Amino acid sequence: MIELEGASVVVDSPDGPVTLLGPTTLTLDERRVGIIGANGSGKSTLARLLNGLALPATGAVRVDGLDVATQGREVRRRVGFVFTHPDAQLVMPTPLEDVSLSLRRSVPDKAERRRRAREVLDSIGLADRADVPVHSLSGGQKQLLALAGVLATGPDVVVADEPTTLLDLRNTRTVADHLFGLQQQLVLVTHDLALARRCDRVLVVDDGRVVHDGAAEAAVEHYVGLVDV
């Protein structure tokens, strides 16, 4: 379970402190949670709080009782993060090597690590791409590989920050189907309202605040109302 208690994010600027996210209190225990809002609204900042990529300036964020500010390593073992740009996560020459890298701490034996990596790639539909150069993959395949690297670590929660933004319709459907098919809790930041509608609960973020929190359809309607103003 994810809990935010008065958690805010403030950064320094030449003109003084800037609040990216105002004090936010939430308990997130639904299987599929969506976060929507305009560019710069604070939705990605909220997502980054959930595994300690951003730390609260006030309040606290806890995952299964673990505090992100003081127990960040343990939190990140439970909460995996998929970025918008997969190249930010892919560092090895081939998919097999990249997923193996994710397993280096949990699986000491190299042969077993590679076997496990192949299993993960197979589960995500990339078994036949295991040994090709990463740079030869399509955008959708790269995003699936980034997801595979996260899943290899066995998280309880997957936070995905606009994972389909750069993809065409076919790859968007493929990546989305894998995300919504996960056994793990999914927190999905998205501009794609069709994907938001597939969530059990949706948060609408505007100007650094959660301005609506509820069922998907009602949340999407609220957001569309903000855009139309």
Strands 66-67 and 157-161: unpaired
User: What pLDDT, in 10s, does the model give residues 108-140?
Assistant: 899 999 999 999 999 999 999 999 999 999 999
Sequence-ordered list of residues with C-beta below 8 angstroms from that of 164, at least 6 positions apart, any chain: 143, 171, 172, 175, 176, 190, 192, 195
User: What pLDDT, in 10s, does the model give residues 6-44?
Assistant: 999 999 989 889 999 999 999 999 999 999 999 999 999
Domain of residue 195, residue span: 2-228
Helix, coil or strand: residue 34: strand
* 134 to 8, 36, 91, 141: CA distances (angstroms): 37, 30, 9, 9
Residue 228 confidence (pLDDT) above 80: no
- The CATH number of the domain where 13 resides is what? 3.40.50.300
**Domain count of the chain?**
1
Give the mean pLDDT of 208-223.
97
